[in-house]
Amino acid sequence: MRKAVLFIIISLIINNGFIFGSEMKVPAGVEVSALGGAGTSMVREESVYYNPAALAFFREPSIVTSWQRWYDFINKGQIIGIFPCFKKVTIGIFDSYSITKKIDCWDEDNNQINSSRFFSNLVNMSIGFRLINNLSIGGSIKYLTENTEEEQVSSNLAGDLSVFTQYKEIINMGVNWQNIGNVQESVVKAGVSMSDRSEKLSSFPTIISLDLNYPLRFNPYLSLGMETFLYSILYVRVGYRTGPLDLERLGHLNGLSFGFGIKPFKESNWQLDYAFVPNGDLGQKHQVSMKYKFGKKLKLTKTDQEEATSRTKEEFLEEGQIKTESLFEEGLQLVQQENYLEAILVFNRCLKQNPDYQQAKVLLKEASTKLDKEITLEGQDSMIFQGVKEYYIKGINQYKKHNFEGAIGEFNKVIKHTFHPKTRKYLEQAKQHLTILENKKQANLYFQRAKSLIKEGQYTQAEENLKKSLFYYSDYLPAKKLLEQVSLKTHTEQKLKKHFITGEKNFKQGQYEKALIKFYYVLKLNPENKKALQMITRCGLKIIKKDKAEKISPKKRKNYLKKGKIYEKQGNYQQAIAHYATIIVHQPADMEVLKEIQRVYRKGQREEKEQKNKKQILLQQKKEKISQYSKEAEEAYKAGRYNFAIEYWQKVLDLDAENEYAEEGMKKCSKKLERATGKGVNLKVVEEYYKQGLIYYNQGKYQEAIFEWKKVLELIPEHEKAKANIKAVEEKMQVTR
């Protein structure tokens, strides 16, 4: 809010005396001027002039100040303020002032009388009220004064009435009867605008707007405008109007307008706009404005929420369409990257949500055709790849069916015989998908366990399980929603107990001010807590009695402030606030102490946010370590190195004691190890045989390699790596023959 006030003060200082300006018929703002004045059906700050009913759709307060120069001798300036209120009402304020250079005045005999400046000032108050979710009405009252340096020439009072409606935030329509009560300036405007919000293939959102204007003094004319938003920071605008002046007399460029708007960065609250409107022989009009959005967006009321939840099926389908279009975009990018296999999976997901999505069907067919061509042409120059092409095709088919384990097995067979980049790429993708599926399974296990704990009333343990569920699958929406409910309940109950117990202790010790603060917290968390209400009453009575006995002295005040500072340095912000609040109980108007309470509270909030961020970083690091150790454990298990696998699974369990996947891995490794040690097998010897086989294989001595790996199988028949290596080498030897 301070920034907004500062913005207004700066605007007034800059504009004072030479850049305010408007008459009733002069458009407001810069953005719509660049669009040819086609603003009746648009929701923006200039709606205060073009259609007050559209103000009802504002949820964020903002201020716009603009400067205009007309015909080389008129300077104009405007300030617009938009202020959304409670419920469904938005108020708009528009103030405009103009001043000319000194102009010579002549009498009927062509004799110069004097030179004088001319001034005009328009004050406009607008209001928009939303009747239902997509329909609003509005109105304005405006007062115009015109004078010279010597005297007031005229004053006028007029008003506006308008209607505005939206359809799915894509099509807007509005009607506004301007300047009612002033026949010379009265005009009826009707407009329609359309945005390409649903066209997700477009990188640059575009709005097209058309207005029909019917002035009582002139012939009807049209206004047309188009705005494109580039790279999230630049607005480009162009417009054209067919009247109300004689355009042929003023020049062929008349009626055209253009401009641009710039944001410093994507999420900026500031915006700079410029518009250029040529007016032939009369000169050119330049307009510049600054816009600032401040404060928080107005929350929806209960009635708004009820209307939102009672939206039609078409609107819900529209939301689903956005999801399918995001999938379509992802698939399109994969096709452009020539990753056809992954694109097929994405397009299938897209069509699962919307089976009638024709563009997705076309691109799915295209991706499938290109993948078939890729398979046909793949490895034509490699005899080795031709020998394992069957495994490659099987792997792709398994991948399409979401059988990623099968795909990994087939792709591994290809890689053992030849270095094939595509196969390696698909193998990595299949492993990623498999990891995601395993994480989802683990997340679901914790989620189901949490649900059963909630039924038993064990909310704290349920909360822990839900957090673990989201740790494995962060986008698990049912777990997120349930965690919000459970967390709110557990945290509220814990805080209630903690504050109430502390309050009772303080009361018994005679520290009634501290007790009062604690019971107030309890009441804030649960307004229906009768015990807290009773204790607040008792504390109040005790404080009154104590107050009568002794009032707080400057010395005691100084001691409370000193203790508060000590607690603040120690990071105990609640105790610091409690000491400051003790002074406020005796001296409610002590502004210095009130400011200290506010400062300490904000400091505590900041530190709490920093701690939460650190926890999130640690959780992410923990998740990455678990994933790394799990992969290493699986590789060690497949290689028959059960001791190493157990060590890695133990590391996983040290990080997550209830990791069922790690527990199962430990059990499997332990069983294998028991069998091996029960037969008197020396695992070090097994590992040496296996490594020697790899050495022979790299030297091209395939028979010797097979011999070493068979030694491994004699000792450990379940050794998967040795089995797979023997099979791969035997097949390779058959191909080379």
Q: Which value, to the nearest 10 degrees, does the dihedral of the CA atoms of residues 306, 309, 311, 313 take?
A: -150
Token pair in block for residue 283? 């000169």
Q: Which of 181-195, 513-527, 654-668 bottoms out in mean pLDDT, i.e. has the lowest?
A: 513-527
pLDDT digits (tens, 9 = 90+) for 207-255: 899 999 888 777 888 889 999 888 777 889 999 888 765 555 555 566 7
Q: Which value, to the nearest 10 degrees, does the dihedral of the CA atoms of residues 319, 323, 325, 328 take?
A: -160
CA distance 646 to 623: 19
pLDDT-based confidence at residue 614 (cuts at 50, 70, 90): confident
- Taking the model in full, what pTM does it have? 0.42
The number of helix segments (H) and strand segments (E) in the chain equals 23, 16
User: Considering the domain boundaries, does residue 231 fall inside one?
Assistant: yes
For residue 257, the tally of other CB atoms under 10 A from its CB is 26
Token pair in block for residue 520? 């107030």
Kindly tell me if the per-residue pLDDT of 129 is higher than 70: yes
- For residue 288, CA distances in Å to 30, 76, 100, 696 come to 7, 11, 18, 79
Task: Estimate to the nearest angstrom the gap between the alpha carbon of 299 and the chain centroid.
Answer: 16
Residue 281 DSSP one-character state: G
User: Considering the domain boundaries, does residue 203 fall inside one?
Assistant: yes
Residue 54 DSSP one-character state: G
DSSP string, 464-524: HHHHHHHHH-TT-HHHHHHHHHHHHHHHHHHHHHHHHHHHHHHHHTT-HHHHHHHHHHHHH
Residue 693 maps to which CATH number?
1.25.40.10
Residue 601 DSSP one-character state: H
Residue after which a domain boundary falls, among 254, 281, 303: 303
User: Considering the domain boundaries, does residue 220 fall inside one?
Assistant: yes
pLDDT-based confidence at residue 314 (cuts at 50, 70, 90): very low
Nearest alpha-carbon partner for 664 in 677, 645, 679? 645
Nearest alpha-carbon partner for 23 in 127, 120, 151? 120
User: Considering the domain boundaries, does residue 111 fall inside one?
Assistant: yes
Structural domain count of the chain: 2
pLDDT digits (tens, 9 = 90+) for 288-313: 888 877 665 554 444 444 444 444 33
Q: Which domain holds residue 690?
A: 679-737
CA distance 582 to 593: 10
Q: Which value, to the nearest 10 degrees, does the dihedral of the CA atoms of residues 607, 613, 616, 622 take?
A: -90
User: Considering the domain boundaries, does residue 155 fall inside one?
Assistant: yes
Q: Which value, to the nearest 10 degrees, does the dihedral of the CA atoms of residues 339, 342, 348, 349 take?
A: -120
User: Considering the domain boundaries, does residue 191 fall inside one?
Assistant: yes
Residue after which a domain boundary falls, among 255, 271, 303: 303
Supply the mean pLDDT for the chain: 77
pLDDT of residue 311: 40
Residue after which a domain boundary falls, among 273, 303, 333: 303
pLDDT of residue 174: 94
CA distance 666 to 649: 6
User: Considering the domain boundaries, does residue 365 fall inside one?
Assistant: no
pLDDT digits (tens, 9 = 90+) for 534-575: 787 777 667 666 654 456 778 888 888 888 889 888 888 878
For the chain, what's the residue count?
Answer: 737
DSSP string, 364-404: HHHHHHHHHHHHHHTTTT-HHHHHHHHHHHHHHHHHHTT-H
CA distance 344 to 367: 6
For residue 438, the tally of other CB atoms under 10 A from its CB is 15
Kindly tell me if the per-residue pLDDT of 16 is higher than 60: no
Token pair in block for residue 578? 């409690």
CA distance 405 to 93: 65
Mean pLDDT of the 513-521 span: 79
Alpha helices, DSSP H only, in 282-382?
Answer: 302-309, 313-336, 340-353, 358-377
Task: Provide the b/e sequence for 589-613 (b: ≥16 CB within 10 Å).
Answer: ebeebbebbeebeeebeeeeeeeee
Compute the chain's Rg from CA coordinates: 38
Query: How many degrees, rounded to 5, is the angle at CA 164 between CA 62 and CA 256?
Result: 75
- Do 711 and 731 touch, CB atoms closer than 8 A? no
Task: Provide the b/e sequence for 367-403 (b: ≥16 CB within 10 Å).
Answer: bbeebeeebeebbeeeebbebbbebbebbbebbeeeb
pLDDT of residue 17: 34
pLDDT digits (tens, 9 = 90+) for 349-393: 888 878 877 888 888 888 888 888 877 776 555 555 666 778 888
CA distance 315 to 496: 41
Residue 60 maps to which CATH number?
2.40.160.60
